[in-house]
Amino acid sequence: ADGHFDGLAYAYYDTTSSRAISSVTNAISMQIRTFSTDGILFVANGTNNYVILELKAGYVRLRLRFSGSSGAEFVIDNGIRISDNIWHRVEFTRDRFYGILNVDGIRSPNDKRPQSGERDDININHIIYIGGVPNGNSVAENLNVGGNYSGCLRNVNFNGNSVLSNALDGQANYGYVGNIARTSDCNTVPQQFAAAYLRSEFSSISVSWSPVAAYDYTFEFWFRTTETGSNRELLNLEASNNVVVTLNEGTVTMLLISTFTRQSSKRKVNDGSWHLFRLIASSTAIGCYIDNEFLNINFSQPLVQRQFPQVTIGLKSIRGLVGCVRGVKIDGVIESIGSIKFTRSSVALNSCTIQNFCKPFTACFNNATCVNTATSFTCSCGSNSNYEDKYRRNCEEIFIVNPSATTGWYTIDPDGPDGPNLPFLTQCLADARVATQISNNFELLTTIPATSEYNGPGSYTANVLYRDGPVSSSMNITIGQAAALADISQSCSQTVMYRCQNAVLLNTPGTPYGWWVSRNDEKIVSWGGAPTNSSRCGCGVTNSCFNRTKMCNCDANEGSTALEDFGTLTDKRYLPVKQLRFGYENVGNNPHAFYSLGKLSCRNRAFPSRVVTFTTQESAIELPNWQSVFNGNIEIAFRSTISNGTLLKNTGRLGTFLALSVQPTMVIFSYNLGQGGGNSILVVRSVGNTRFDDDQWHRIGLSFTLNRVSLRVDDFPEVTNTSQSAHQIARLDIDSSLFVGSDPQNCSCINTLWTGRTCQAPKGAHFSGNNVIEYKANRILNSLPNGIQDISFNFVSNATSIKIFDVQASNSQRLEFGLDQGQAYLSTNGDRSILKGFLSDEQSHKVIISPSSNTVSIDGVSNALVNIPSILDSPTVQIGSSSNNALISMCVYNVSFVGIPIMAYAFSDPRNLSVTMMSNSNNQDASEATCISGSVKTPVPTIKVISTASTYTTTVATRSSSAVTNPPYSGLQAGGIVGIVIGILILLGIMVIIYVKYVNVTTGEYPTETENVDNGASVKYNMGKNSVATSNGRKE
Provide the whole-model pTM: 0.53
Closest to 77 measured CA to CA, from 49, 48, 52: 52
Assign 953 a pLDDT band (cuts: 50, 70, 90): very low
Mean pLDDT for the stretch of residues 639-659: 77
Give which of 385, 652, 599 is closest to 485, Cα–Cα.
Answer: 599
What mean pLDDT comes out for the span 750-775? Answer: 82
Tell me the H-state helices in 444-600.
Answer: 479-488, 538-542
**Helix (H) or strand (E) segment spanning residue 314:** strand 310-314
Q: What is the dihedral sign for C-alpha 621, 624, 627, 633?
A: negative
Cα angle, residue 717 at apex, residues 714 and 721 outer, rounded to 5°:
115
Task: Identify the sign of the CA torsion 481, 487, 493, 495.
Answer: positive
Residue 970 confidence (pLDDT) above 60: no
Burial class (CB in 10 A: 0-12, 13-18, 19+), 1030: middle
Cα dihedral: 1020, 1021, 1022, 1025 (round 10)? 110
Q: What is the pLDDT of residues 409-418, one digit of tens each?
A: 888 888 877 7
d(CA 21, CA 721): 48
Instruction: Tell me what pLDDT residue 734 has.
Output: 58
Average pLDDT over residues 953-980: 34
Residue 381 has pLDDT above 90, yes or no: no
Closest CA to 27 of 104, 129, 95, 119: 95
Q: What is the pLDDT of residue 256?
A: 92
Distance separating alpha carbons of residues 162 and 332, to the nearest angstrom: 38
Among 126, 105, 107, 131, CA closest to 1: 131
Please tell me the least confidently modeled range out of 280-284, 527-531, 628-632, 766-770. 628-632
Rounded Cα distance between 524 and 512, Å, is: 10
pLDDT in tens, 143-155: 677 788 988 999 9
Measured CA to CA in angstroms, residue 193 lies from 54, 58, 80 at distances of: 18, 15, 21
Asked if pLDDT for residue 724 goes beyond 60, the answer is no
Q: What is the pLDDT of residue 782?
A: 84
Opening angle at CA 911, ends 908 and 915, nearest 5:
110
The span from the CA of 477 to the CA of 491, in Å, is 20
Q: Work out the pLDDT band at 983, boundaries 50, 70, 90.
A: low
pLDDT-derived band at 1024, boundaries 50, 70, 90: very low
- pLDDT for the residue numbered 75: 83
Q: What is the pLDDT of residue 709?
A: 83
1028 has a pLDDT exceeding 70: no
Classify residue 307 by its DSSP letter. Answer: -
Q: Which of 501-515, 525-539, 731-745, 801-815 has the lowest mean pLDDT?
A: 731-745
pLDDT band for 860, please (50, 70, 90 cuts): confident
On the question of pLDDT at 511 being above 50, the answer is yes
- Which of 821-825, 828-832, 833-837, 870-874 has the least mean pLDDT? 833-837
Residues in contact with 919: Cβ distance below 8 Å, sequence separation at least 6, in sequence order: 771, 925
Residues 743 and 756: their CA atoms lie apart, in Å, by 12
CA-to-CA distance for 546 and 555, rounded, in angstroms? 9
Please give the residue that has the higher pLDDT: either 636 or 724: 636
**Distant-in-sequence, close-in-space partners of 791: CB < 8 Å, separation ≥ 6:** 805, 807, 815, 848, 849, 850, 871, 896, 897, 898
Question: How high is the pLDDT of residue 448?
Answer: 94
Give the DSSP H/E element, type plus range, for residue 371.
strand 369-372
The string over 192-221, giving b where at least 16 C-beta atoms fall within 10 Å of a residue's C-beta and e elsewhere, is: bbbbbbbbbbebbbbbebebeeebebbbbb
Contact 284, 299 (CB under 8 A): yes
pLDDT of residue 247: 92
* Statement: residue 483 has pLDDT above 90: yes
Lowest mean pLDDT, pick from 577-586, 778-787, 919-928, 1027-1036: 1027-1036
Mean pLDDT for 556-584 is 92
Using the CB atoms, write b or e for 715-751: b if 16+ within 10 Å: eeeebebeeebebbbbbbbbbbbbbbbbbeeebebeb
CB neighbours of residue 153 within 10 Å = 25
* Angle (nearest 5°) at CA 339 between 334 and 342: 90
Distance CA 475, CA 495 (A): 22
More confident residue, 756 or 339: 339
- Residue 988 has a pLDDT of 55
DSSP E strand boundaries for 21-71: 21-23, 25-33, 39-46, 49-56, 59-65
Q: Distances in Å between the alpha carbon of 604 and those of 402, 433, 435, 521, 695?
A: 16, 8, 8, 26, 19
Residues contacting residue 136 through CB under 8 Å, at least 6 positions apart: none
Residue 60 has pLDDT above 70, yes or no: yes
What backbone torsions phi and psi does residue 984 show, to the nearest 5 degrees? -65, -40
Is residue 942 over pLDDT 80?
no
Rounded Cα distance between 507 and 499, Å, is: 15
Instruction: Name the β-bridge partners of 50.
Output: 45, 65
Q: 14-28, 63-77, 336-350, 471-485: which has the highest mean pLDDT?
A: 336-350
**Integer Cα distance of 325 and 147 in angstroms:** 19
Taking only the tens place, the pLDDT of each residue in 614-648 is: 877 677 888 766 555 556 778 888 888 877 788 88
What does the pLDDT average to over 978-986?
47
Per the prediction, the chain carries an average pLDDT of 80
Question: What's residue 939's pLDDT?
Answer: 54
| Alpha-carbon gap, residue 818 to 832, rounded angstroms | 10
**Cβ atoms 337, 196 nearer than 8 A:** yes
469 vs 1013: CA distance, rounded Å:
59
Work out whether the CA dihedral 378, 382, 386, 392 comes out positive or negative: positive
The dihedral built from the CA positions of residue 914, 918, 924 and 930, taken in this order, carries a sign that is negative
**1 burial class (0-12, 13-18, 19+ CB within 10 angstroms)?**
middle
Could you give the CA distance from residue 438 to residue 597 in angstroms, rounded to a whole number?
12
Of 42-51, 566-575, 666-675, 723-732, the one with minimum mean pLDDT is 723-732
More confident residue, 941 or 936: 936
Q: Cis (ω within 30 of 0) for the bond into 624?
A: no
Q: How many angstroms separate the CA atoms of 128 and 42, rounded?
A: 7
Weakest-pLDDT range from 27-41, 710-724, 983-997: 983-997
Percent of the chain with pLDDT strictly greater than 70: 80
Q: Which of 489, 514, 518 is nearest to 604 (CA)?
A: 489
Q: Residue 1033 pLDDT more than 70?
A: no
Residue 251 has pLDDT above 80, yes or no: yes
CA 880-881-884 angle, to 5 degrees, is 105
The pLDDT of residue 958 is 25
**pLDDT (mean) for 555-583:** 92
Q: Does the N-terminal peptide bond of residue 449 adopt cis geometry, omega within 30 degrees of 0? A: no
Q: What pLDDT, on a 0 to 100 scale, did the predictor assign at position 263?
A: 93
Which residues, 6 or more positions from 961, have their beta carbon under 8 angstroms from its beta carbon? 887
- Give me the mean pLDDT over the 466-482 stretch: 79
Residue 499, Ramachandran bin (φ over 0: left; ψ between -120 and 50: alpha; else beta) = beta
> Any alpha helices (H) in 842-975, and if so which ranges?
902-906
Report the 10 Å Cβ neighbour count for 120.
Answer: 19
Tell me, rounded to whole angstroms, the distance of Cα 449 from its chain centroid. Answer: 59
Average pLDDT over residues 809-834: 91
pLDDT at 936: 65
**Residue 335 confidence class, pLDDT cut points 50, 70, 90:** very high
Tens of pLDDT, residues 174-200: 999 988 888 766 777 777 778 899 989
Specify the range with the lowest mean pLDDT, choosing from 123-127, 172-176, 185-189, 804-808. Answer: 185-189
CB 893 within 8 A of CB 753: no
Residues in the chain: 1036
| Least confident interval from 237-251, 544-558, 854-868, 1012-1026 | 1012-1026
**Nearest CA to 907 among 755, 747, 805, 744?**
755
Mean pLDDT computed over 552-557: 92
pLDDT at 539: 95
Q: How many CB atoms lie within 10 A of CB 404?
A: 6
Provide the β-strand partners of residue 820.
823
pLDDT at residue 493, rounded to an integer: 94
Q: What are phi and psi of 732, to 5 degrees?
A: -125, 115
Query: Is the per-residue pLDDT at 741 higher than 70?
Result: yes
CA distance 899 to 682: 10
